[in-house]
Amino acid sequence: MPYSSEANIATADALTLLLRNQHAISAAIEEVTKWLSENGVRCVADNAIAAMEALDNNAQGITDAIMRLRQL
């Protein structure tokens, strides 16, 4: 596939929107986790923390991909 600056920009823009959604989801999970912890549902809160960790790990990969696309 030939190099396409416009395609790279469009892809980076789409990934940026997905990354913003991922940050919003993480913030929502964090609020639910806090509520769960305060209301004695620690085992569910621990699962939510694991989900946030996965979101954080994946967010870095998405960020790296965005940066590579924007440098092309």
CB 33, CB 45: distance < 8 Å: yes
- For a pLDDT cut of 70, what percent of the chain falls above it? 96
pLDDT at residue 58, rounded to an integer = 93
Backbone angles phi, psi at 4, to 5 degrees: -135, 105
pTM: 0.79
- Give residue-wise pLDDT tens across range 54-69: 999 999 999 999 999 9
- Give residue-wise pLDDT tens across range 30-47: 999 999 999 999 899 999
Q: Which residues fall within 8 angstroms of residue 59, CB to CB, at 6 or more apart?
A: 19, 22, 23, 26
Q: Does residue 4 surpass a pLDDT of 70? A: yes
- Give residue-wise pLDDT tens across range 9-20: 999 999 999 999
